[in-house]
Chain A
Amino acid sequence: MDTKTIGSPALSLQEVTKVFGQGPSAVRAVDAVDLEVSQGEVLLIQGPSGGGKTTLLTMAGGLLRPTQGDISITGVKLNGLSDKQVSHLRLMTIGFIFQSFNLLAALTAQENVEVVVRLAGAGKKEARRTAAELLASLGLARRLNHRPVNLSGGEKQRVSIARALANNPALILADEPTANLDSARGREVMALLRGIAKEQGRTVLCVSHDHRIRDIADRVLWLEDGRLRQLQAVKDPVCGMSLDESLAPVRLVLDRETYYFCGVVCRAAFLERRNAHEPAGVPSSS
């Protein structure tokens, strides 16, 4: 399955494999993944738990070295870099957004953002100003001096986004950014990320279980058993509903052909209709 894009990639993975453990107990968490994400693109990777999404994201962020394969961020290959160089690359090129926000509890919203700006070498005043501006642009001007404990989930995630944007990164890696938010706040956060990608030309790679956020992604890929593939759009032959091949609740294989249904009612209707015309045939369904 082709998962490559046209244009200069902000992130490129070539034949990337990650194996945990050795011998018979070895687990191939990511298996020969090829992926290119272009500048300004919002890519959503979905898949079942344990499918390798987090491992892929961790490697894309330079936090885990692959067992095999090459990873490049904005054209810089990670393989040849030392840990310190990778740290610096992360600081200047990648912004992280986490499911559980991961804000520093003892610091205010502004200080949480400021820390990252200062790590990049900015002075205290400049860092304060940058943090305040970023937070204000995300609607948190009145929450600068609040600690995480005094912020709502949506506000925490916006602080986390501000922190991710603090050093103007080319690539934003988001791990389940909507998981701890209600649907309205989740949608709001994803719309924000899309806006950042489109208006500021940053690349957003997001892994999530949340199907509701698919419409804001430019591309949606499916990662299962360490393998990445493009999701195939299919239609329920009875009601005509649009479905993803991998996510269709009911499947039916008839005469070596697979049919996808939104539910068992449509499948029953389909079989009834078909039997009326062709009584012979042994269906298999899932």
Chain B
Amino acid sequence: MSSIALKNLWAEKTRFTITVGGVALAITLIVVLISLYQGWSTKITAYIDATGADIWASQKGSADMFHGFSAMSSATRDAILRIPGVQRAQPFVGRQVAFDLSGKDVHTFLVGYDPAAGVGGPVRIVQGRGVTSPGEMVIDRVFAKNTGLGIGDTAAILGHPLKVVGIAEGTNIFVYQYSFVDQGEARDMLLSQTIDNYEIVKVAPGADVQLVISAINVLPGVQAVSQDAFKELNRSLIDDTFLPIIVVLAVISLVVGTAVIALTIFTSTIEKAREYGVLKAVGATNGRLYRIVLTQSLASGLVGYAVGLLLAFGVMALVEQAVPAFLTATRLVDLALVLALALGMAVVASYMPVRRLISIDPAIVFKQ
């Protein structure tokens, strides 16, 4: 029966192409959206991961880096350092800034770090070197591409001329990119001489992270969360703003894909009603005929999935070339999920044709 299904599909190449095309477009859109979501989700926490922190302490009420602005007295760091089990606490000083670059308004998330401490700096330098003194800056690769800045170029940010000495990767945070400067200079630029935005805390080996968090939370006006919890909080920027849009678009794609399969297989079933009648007449049970329709739907779904995947990877590669800030990350588990969705679409799409099959009277074979 499966050979009839596949041969029927193959015999109607135009219809099959339309079905596969419709499914492929739906799959492409879903894969790109999921990859985009994963890209944003992963990259948005890449910097946090790179700090190697166990705990992030912030001003109470502003737990993530995007929804609010955390500012704490630098004295908080001393208090944290006095808590048993704390190995070190490094200040994170940084916020989004805008500056003029050749008449164009440019945004970056300026981060001041202490090169000697080796915490909170660029994730991965791919060209040039790290900051060694004031007046130097490491910029993100995407930022460099977007702005045209390169090693040796100078940009004035908040009145400070900064020479680009390195280009880094892993700090493209979806709407803007991180730029790294000497921490002392960052404090000058951001008027944060006695203010830290976050404390990046590392606990001593064997110390209980939860106990340390509880102890930090006792400090007035301070809240602490684990590294994982801090990543989740930052990821919520994506989840709160873009996830609903992604879900809506993915659902629309699924519906369109399902409708395409359903309609093409349905019209094929109507056109082949006589042939199905013949099969019924010679003794094929309804179950066997359902298998033909289901096989056709599944084959359309599978081929559409394969073509859709290829298209998706092509689209993502092209768009990433054209728009460097376009971040995608494709996980095998997501591809498996999309495969399950494609097969689900095929099964749902076969409902209408199967209903039509039931109504075919085998006596049709004797009608002219």
Contact = CB atoms under 8 A, between A and B. Distances in A.
A63 B282 contact: no
A89 B288 CA distance: 16
A118 B292 CA distance: 14
Contacts of B363: 58, 63-64
A88 B3 contact: no
B4 A115 contact: yes
**Residues of B contacting A: mostly:** helix
A163 B278 CA distance: 11
B137 to A, nearest CB: 67
B275 interface: yes
Interface residues of B, number: 24
Contacts of B135: none
B283 A87 contact: yes
A125 interface: no
Interface in A44-76: 54, 57-58, 61, 63-64
Interface stretch (A99-107, A133-141, A228-236, A266-274): A99-107
Interface stretch (A31-39, A90-98, A190-198, A210-218): A90-98
B281 interface: yes
B281 A90 contact: yes
Interface string B274-295: 1100111111110010000000
A88 B368 contact: no
Given A100-B368, A115-B4, A119-B288, A105 B11 contact: yes
Interface residues of A, number: 30
A90 B365 CA distance: 14
Nearest to B275: A104
B248 to A, nearest CB: 39
Contacts of A115: 1, 4, 279
B275 A58 contact: no
A88 B278 contact: no
A98 B283 contact: no
A169 B1 CA distance: 21
A116 B288 CA distance: 12
B356 interface: no
A41 interface: no
B281 to A, nearest CB: 6
A106 B11 CA distance: 6
B10 interface: yes
A102 B365 contact: yes
Nearest to B11: A106
Contacts of B280: 87
Interface of B: 1, 3-4, 7-8, 10-11, 274-275, 278-285, 288, 361-363, 365-366, 368
Given A58-B363, A99-B368, A118-B1, 20 more contacts: A58-B366, A63-B362, A63-B363, A63-B365, A84-B285, A88-B283, A89-B283, A90-B281, A90-B283, A91-B282, A91-B284, A100-B368, A102-B275, A102-B365, A104-B279, A107-B3, A111-B7, A115-B1, A119-B279, A163-B282
